[in-house]
Amino acid sequence: MELNIQNNAILETQQGYAKRVLSLAANTYGTCPKACVLTFGCQQNVSDSERLKGMLFEMGYTIVDSMENADFIIFNTCAVREHAEDRVFGNIGMTKQIKKDRPNTLVAVCGCMVQQKHIAEKIKKSYPYVDIVMGTHVEHRLPEFIYKKLSGAKRIFELSMEDNTIVEDIPIKRDGKFKGWLPIMYGCNNFCTYCIVPYVRGRERSREPQKIVEEFKQMIKDGYKDITLLGQNVNSYGKGASHGVNFAKLLRMLNDVPGEFVIRFMTSHPKDCTIELLDTIKECKKVSRHLHLPFQSGSSRILKLMNRYYDREQYLQLIKNAKERIPEVDLTSDIIVGFPGETYEDFKDTLSVVTEVKFASLFTFIYSKRRGTPASVMEDNITRAEKGKWFSELLLAQEKVALENINKFIGNTYRVLCDDYSEREGYMLGHTSGTAVIEFEGDKSLLGKFVNVKVESYNNGLCGKII
Ligand code: 5AD
Ligand code: SF4
């Protein structure tokens, strides 16, 4: 999809509002208003929240962790499963008392959840103390919405979706110092039958490659050493655009940037994981040795019902290709248990993929019915209790695999980025370019540095020594 470039005008308008909020908010709250951004769901939301914080910072807000003292509270929500939505409503409910105590506090809700009509209606009717509801395509207009509310406007519900625009250069306040997120594309065209994402995030659209490279280089300059490229379907990056840069080419461009760093990416769709991409990962040494390839189900029958565009055999062949080309690769996956119509036989096909592939780790979910998706009207006869039993069986199978996996680390040396303290006094944690975390003796002077660590033992985690 070709993008609609009207960026500067959009940015200038919002910067104008931000300046006006700066003085309005100071009058309303005193010199330093506080904002709390609460994030639910995936890394895309975490990244979007970093931009919300960037805009709030520009408007003069100090970012705080708790809603208790905040003058502006925003919930960045997730709609992928019902459980996430329930948690959000619980949290929004808590702001009722806060607004009673401090009526000037503004409460906003954004993200995937509110892009569903029935949820926006529910907030309108049952949560009258929510001031601003903004959809996934208008989050860059936060300064405008806050300005309007501070100037006495009624409640704001802005949920329009214009798919061919990406707003660039929104201010950003990143959470991490060494690890950072970098969105490369937005939306999804795949319409897996269980998934709400294409409805709430809109059609797939990719950022221009030069914009990504620019931001990437700036992050490296700012000290980031581990950068994750984000998208619902990262490996379909660039499809339909005239610049001709696909995901593999983008990885090569970033790999060529000088410096020591790790480039990660998620999420990849198995159908777009080409041999070209596998060869690129193999050849580009700064690209992470990790492939997250959600297979969702090991049953070809269920995969068809899920509209996944591959079957069991194709997935296993892909894994074989990946392991042949990149033997050291860590594989991870997402699995859904209890999709409508799934039988125990189908589930056993999922189990056998888990034991065969030997994933480093898994993200496992019980199917959650999402209103408006094709799967929501499919017959679903398996009880929640039965699905729960299958789910436990799956976790047990993965636990066994994980224990077997440990042996491959012992005795090997890894280049790790030291990026956190260990709970053990005098020890630090480092991440390999795959998914492993290794604990080793060291102090805070190592934070943000790459070191070589030899794995010596396993004690509730991998333990090693700097060499
Ligand atoms: N129910 C359960 N899990 C889901 N996912 C997406 N939609 C649903 C749903 N309706 C899972 C998929 C996806 C991950 C991000 O969330 O496994 O890969
Ligand atoms: Fe949802 Fe499928 Fe798109 Fe992933 S690829 S966001 S599971 S529709």
Tens of each residue's pLDDT in the chain, 467 residues: 555 556 888 999 999 999 999 989 888 887 789 999 999 999 999 999 999 999 999 999 999 999 999 999 999 999 999 999 999 999 999 999 999 999 999 999 999 999 999 999 999 999 999 999 999 999 999 999 999 999 999 999 999 997 677 899 999 999 999 999 999 999 999 999 999 999 999 999 999 999 999 999 999 999 999 999 999 999 999 998 889 999 999 999 999 999 999 999 999 999 999 999 999 999 999 999 999 999 999 999 999 999 999 999 999 999 999 999 999 999 999 999 999 999 999 999 999 999 999 999 999 999 999 999 999 999 999 999 999 999 999 999 999 999 999 989 999 999 999 999 999 999 999 999 999 999 999 999 999 999 999 999 999 899 999 99
Ligand 2 mean position, distance from CA 108 (Å)? 26
How many Cβ atoms sit within 10 Å of the Cβ of residue 5? 12
Ligand 2 mean position, distance from CA 69 (Å)? 37
Ligand 2 mean position, distance from CA 388 (Å)? 23
Ligand 2 mean position, distance from CA 268 (Å)? 10
Which of 115, 136, 197 for mutating ligand 2's site (highest number of atoms within 8 Å of CB)? 197
pLDDT at 3: 57
Contact 440, 409 (CB under 8 A): no
Smallest Cα–Cα separation from 434: which of 421, 415, 451?
A: 415
Report which protein residue has its CA nearest ligand 2's atom 5: 190
Helix, strand, coil shares of the chain as percentages rounded to 5? Answer: 40, 20, 40
Report which protein residue has its CA nearest ligand 2's atom 2: 192
Phi, psi dihedral angles at 452 (to 5 degrees): -95, 125
Q: Residue 411 and residue 456: Cα distance in Å, rounded?
A: 6
Cα separation values, 158 from 132, 169, 406, Å = 8, 21, 50
Ligand 1 mean position, distance from CA 461 (Å)? 28
Counting from 1 in the atom list of ligand 2, the atom nearest the Cα of 233 is: 5
Residue type, 12: E
Query: Which phi-psi region, left, alpha or beta, contains residue 218 (left: φ > 0; alpha: ψ -120 to 50)?
Result: alpha
pLDDT at 29: 86
pLDDT at 2: 54
Cα four-point dihedral sign 410, 407, 362, 400: negative
> How would you list the strands of the sheet with 106-111, edge to edge?
62-64, 34-39, 72-77, 106-111, 132-134, 156-158
SS3 213: helix
Model confidence, pTM: 0.95
Nearest ligand atom owner, CA of 306: 2
Give the pairing type, strands 413-421 and 437-441: unpaired
pLDDT at 8: 83
| 460: CB partners within 8 A, 6+ apart | none
CB under 6 Å to ligand 1: residues?
80-81, 194-195, 294, 296, 334, 336, 365, 367-368, 370
pLDDT at 87: 93
Query: Which phi-psi region, left, alpha or beta, contains residue 120 (left: φ > 0; alpha: ψ -120 to 50)?
Result: alpha
Phi, psi dihedral angles at 12 (to 5 degrees): -60, -45
Contact 332, 359 (CB under 8 A): yes
pLDDT at 28: 87
CB under 6 Å to ligand 2: residues?
188, 190-192, 195, 197-198, 232-233, 269
pLDDT at 5: 54
Cα four-point dihedral sign 156, 160, 162, 163: positive
Counting from 1 in the atom list of ligand 2, the atom nearest the Cα of 198 is: 8
